[in-house]
Structures are given as C-alpha cells and as structure tokens.
Amino acid sequence: MLRYFTAGESHGEALVAFISGIPAGLKLSQSFIDRELWRRQQGYGRGGRMKIETDHAHILSGVRHGATIGSPIAIMLENKDWKNWTEALPVEQGDPEKHKRVASPRPGHADLAGALKYNFSEARYVLERASARESAARVAIGAVAKLFLHELGIEVLSHVVGVGSAVAKDEVLWEQIRDLQQKEEVLLNCADAEDEQRMKEQVDGVLRTGDSVGGVFEVVARGVPAGLGTYAQWDERLDALLASAVMSLQAVKGIEIGAGIVAAHSPGSAVHDEIGYSRDQGFTRTRNNAGGIEGGVSNGQEIRVRGYVKPISTLRRPLQSVDFATREPVKAAYERSDVCVVPAAGVAAEAMVALTLARCALEKFGGDSMVEVQRNYQGYCQQVKNY
C-alpha cells in the first residue's frame, strides 16, 4: 500500500513530505524532482513569494546511492522566507507583540471555518497550513511516483484549458502537451499560442483591478494499462480516487473526467466510445469521451482529468469581512498572493494523479522490489495481449 502525507506551514522553517511503499531499486533523479518543483512555481500571475523561494528537494531517508531502498522516503523543502518569520511564528512562546495576526477572515478562504473549528482567536494558524504552499511537498513526492510510473511506461502531464472566460478552442493532443513540458519559460502552459495570449489578457485584466482569476487545467496520463481500479467497491473505483485526489488541492472546486460535463447534456449515442478490434492493435475505440475510465476501471486509453480552479481568495482590493475581535465590519485581510495559479495547480494535480495511479499499480502488481513489480507487470500485460 502506498501511503503519503505532508507537514509544515507556509511561512514555517520547512515543508516535509513522507511516502512509504515505494519498492526498492527505483532510481531517483534529483534533477527531475527539482524540475517538477520549478514547474510548480512558474506561470503568469504568480505572486512575490515565487521570487523568494527556489524549491529544492532535500532527501532525508529511503534513498541511498541514487536508488530507493524500500523504507519510507522523507523529503524536506526549505522555506527561504522563514528568516522573515522567525519572530512572528516561533515554535516557543516568543513575543506576542511580534506575532502577525490575521485579524479578519477572507471570503472564500479557510480562515473563518478553520478558526471556528480549532477555536483560534484569529486566522494566522489556519492560513499557514491551508495555504497552497503545501502543494510543493506533494509535487516532490508526486515526482517520485512519476519516476515509478515511468518504469511501467506511464507518463503524466498537464496543460491549461482555460483562464477566466478565455478557453482553448481545440482538443489538445498528447504530443502538444509533451512539447509544453520542455519549455524553459512558462507563461500559462497552454498548447496554442493564440489561446494563451487571450488567457494572458484575462490575467492582465485582474492585475489592473486588484482582483483574481481562476480557470481549468487538464491532466493526461498516457500508457495506463486496462485494469487499474475496480467496480467491486465504491471506494476503490479509479475515477472516485482520482476525483478525491485532485479535489484535495487548494482552490480546486470541480472535477471532470473525460467529457463528463458535456456528456450530461448529450444523448448516449454521442457519448459512449464505440469498440472495435484488430489483430494488430487488439481492442480499439473510436474516441475517448470516457476519459480512459469505465465502471471505475482504467480501459487502456488516455486518462483525462480536468480540475476547475476558483479565483484565489486573497485580493488586493479586499472584499467585506468582519473583525475577529470586535465583530465590526472591515475589509478582509490581505497578504502577498498570486492572482492566477491555474498552471501551478495543474502541476500539483499531476502529482496527485501520479500518486493515485502509482498506488493502484502497486495494489495490482505488488512487489517489494522493482524487479518483482516489473515481472508481475509484464506478466499481466502478456495476459491482456493474449486475451
């Protein structure tokens, strides 16, 4: 069983990510993990924090001589901004006069609900853990999952479908998405230059007005064999697992698999993917409206998952709120923030999709070493080929 979790606060000393269940013998690339972290920090509309942090994965355990050893992997990401917060967020009592309070909750953020839940007098501690900064730790362990999946011929990438009211005109092919990942400069991670320019104009508009803007990303997994997930139990369905994983990301408020939203307004004859067979290719499909999943089970086609990202809730022109102490009406608190995070959310969603697929692959193919996993995987592939 693949297990993982993260720890750390946005302005704390570091983020730490833990993952256990990765088989021994998987070669890890430090440069690949750091590249994934770099990708999460890119995108037009990111805030000042990205100018401070240069995320680098410091692997503490579970890896020796460049390969996994079967024990839990711990990865630490230093927060360079910590030096500016040592007195504001000390582990010990510290000086209360130097603590940085969040005096009024931001509409759309976890501030108020979190303060009520944990009985905090203000929202500083809520902000620190609810922040999307936490997703950097998930990207680090997601990179480990990606390296594992790569050994099985599975790749996971993302692209941006829309920002605000600007939406990509055409379906994007795998080759276009793969080309995006090679770029050394990331604007909005959209495959079409004209579409991307229209998306940039949406970001420029909210930058001028002190607002924020959301959008839609799509994660595509290629090379996933038929048979991951199951229809046998509700909580083991692959689509349910993916939806939960991607929805767990900060600011994601909706999930779509394949053509799910359009399918709800279309007749069945226009939705379901007709099946064919050839001796060379085996079973084939005329299209992929199912997004690679039928009945909670992967069907061998590309898995396509879209995430709908709400606008960031921290605004330079804050909305109406209430002071925690006086209960009087005030403007919501403001802290340095992004205005658009859709490309970064897509990278974080890649990590969550990769972790979910790696978990399902390990449950199906098992093994304590990569040699064992590969043997089991190849045997299954031969079984499917001979079906």
pLDDT at site 218: 98
User: Rounded to 5 degrees, what angle do the CA atoms 271, 277, 279 make?
Assistant: 155
* pLDDT value at 108 more than 90: yes
Express each pLDDT in 127-177 by its tens digit: 999 999 999 999 999 999 999 999 999 999 999 999 999 999 988 999 999
Express each pLDDT in 268-325 by its tens digit: 999 999 999 998 888 999 999 999 999 999 999 999 999 999 999 999 999 999 999 9
Say if residue 96 is exposed, middle or buried (CB neighbours under 10 Å; 0-12, 13-18, 19+): exposed
Q: How far is Cα 224 from Cα 28, in angstroms, rounded to an integer?
A: 21
Express each pLDDT in 207-221 by its tens digit: 999 999 999 999 999
Q: Are 314 and 182 in contact (CB under 8 A)?
A: no
Q: What is the mean pLDDT of the chain?
A: 95
| Tokens 């994601």, located at residue | 252
pLDDT at site 308: 98
DSSP collapsed to 3 states, 173-207: CHHHHHHHHCCCCCCCCCCCHHHHHHHHHHHHHHH
pLDDT at site 238: 98
* pLDDT value at 51 more than 70: no
β-strand partners of 119:
none
- Comparing C-alpha atoms, which of 111, 37, 42 is closest to residue 341? 42
Q: How far is Cα 226 from Cα 237, in angstroms, rounded to an integer?
A: 13
pLDDT tier at 52 (50, 70, 90 boundaries)? confident
| Tokens 């399918």, located at residue | 263
Tally of CA atoms within 13 A in the half-sphere of 138 that contains its CB: 25
Which structural domains are found in the chain, ordered by start? 99-385 (3.60.150.10)
Q: Are 322 and 104 in contact (CB under 8 A)?
A: yes
pLDDT at site 49: 63
| Tokens 């139990």, located at residue | 233
pLDDT at site 337: 79
Q: How far is Cα 101 from Cα 323, in angstroms, rounded to an integer?
A: 11
Q: How far is Cα 301 from Cα 352, in angstroms, rounded to an integer?
A: 19
Q: How far is Cα 218 from Cα 9, in angstroms, rounded to an integer?
A: 28
pLDDT tier at 50 (50, 70, 90 boundaries)? low
